[in-house]
Amino acid sequence: MPTLREQYEADLRLPQIRATLDTIAWAEGGRSYGTLYGGGTFSDFSKHPNRRITAGGYTSTAAGRYQFLYSTYVDHSRTLGITDFSPHSQDLLALREADVKGGLPYFRRGDFVGGLKALGANGRCAWAALPYAGCNQKMRGINETVNYYNSKLNGNNIVPGQTQNQISPGMIAVGFLVFILLID
């Protein structure tokens, strides 16, 4: 049985998970792994920067590609045995947050909207900028968010709603045509 961290490592190889992480970062304004709340940057990835920054009427310690609060970083890094704030660690921490808030099972199976709804259910408020977040902050629109997700998913050569192991009707038609040509 894989450990929690090993499962998250495996999840990072799934195109629907990569597209989900890209979409979370886009929605949250995490232009890079070194983004601070309010738009500043940091370059020391040995730890979460834990800087209290006031911008847009809010004060936050959010940092990184997924805008983790320092308290979230502390909780999830302990669970996963993470000791830094490297890009790879941030990816694992984002999966932990999605898992704790109930969205990860949906994201794994490619149900992006179901995952968004789970993240915001019952006041969970994982990422404030995502639709259905319920954090009482400005959210991205559902259509633009789903369109962004689909663009990232298509960039990974996966058709929305199709897993890696599914065969599309077009693939069947091409295979049938090749078969006809071979037996002719």
Residue 36, strand partner residues: 63
Residues marked as catalytic: 28
Helix, strand, coil percentages for the chain (3-state, nearest 5): 50, 5, 45
Query: Given its phi and psi angles, is residue 137 left (phi above 0), alpha (psi -120 to 50 degrees) or beta?
Result: beta
Identify the burial level of 106 via C-beta atoms within 10 angstroms of its C-beta, where 0-12 means exposed, 13-18 middle and 19 or more buried.
Answer: buried
The torsion of the CA quartet 18, 9, 32, 140, rounded to 10 degrees, works out to 40
Residues whose CB falls within 8 Å of the CB of residue 181, separated by 6 or more in sequence, listed in order: none
The Cα 23–Cα 146 span in angstroms is 9
111: nearest Cα among 122, 123, 98, 100: 98
| Max CA distance (Å), the chain | 72
